[in-house]
Amino acid sequence: MKRIVIHEEYCMGCRLCEIHCLVQHSKSKQIIKAYKGEFPKPLSRVLVEEQGYLSFALQCRHCEDAPCLEACMTGSLHRDAETGAVICHEDKCVGCWMCIMVCPLGVIARRREGKKAASKCDLCAGEKIPVCVQHCPNEAITFEER
């Protein structure tokens, strides 16, 4: 199964992964409209962490023993049979936030506006390569077989 791999030694903290992720998960798929005109505002499913000169992108690792899957009482979180990705069906999510509480990486977010639902990396479902990987200028994010 292919997974996103972070190489923090190459990350320069440009946050292009966050920007492209937000646009990918927007309705318009256009950067200005996504940032200024959409409601609810789309969320990036990547978070760039910075401490001193070290920075790296942090997103769902689609754990083999994903605690969020066990914690989800509605079944809105499930594993995609084809890709192995842990996916959230936001329409089924009731906003209990158990997935957020049990995530060992703290990468599941709650939508700030609009529908009460969890939001997490979906490996850009429908894309051959996730957009954070496609647009990382230093190849600090790669998509590799694991």
pTM of this structure: 0.89
Any idea which architecture 64-120 has in CATH?
2-Layer Sandwich (3.30)
User: What pLDDT is attached to residue 47?
Assistant: 93
Q: What is the tens place of the pLDDT at every residue in 92-144? A: 999 999 999 999 999 999 887 667 889 999 999 889 999 999 999 999 999 99
- Phi then psi for residue 48, to 5 deg, are -90, 120
Tell me the domain boundaries of the chain: 1-59+123-146, 64-120
Q: What is the CATH number of domain 1-59+123-146?
A: 3.30.70.20
The DSSP call for residue 42 is P
Q: Confirm if 131 and 16 have CB atoms less than 8 A apart.
A: no
Query: What residues are paired with 144 via a beta bridge?
Result: 3
Helix (H, G, I), strand (E, B) or coil at 41: coil
Q: What is the tens place of the pLDDT at every residue in 77-97? A: 999 998 899 999 988 999 999
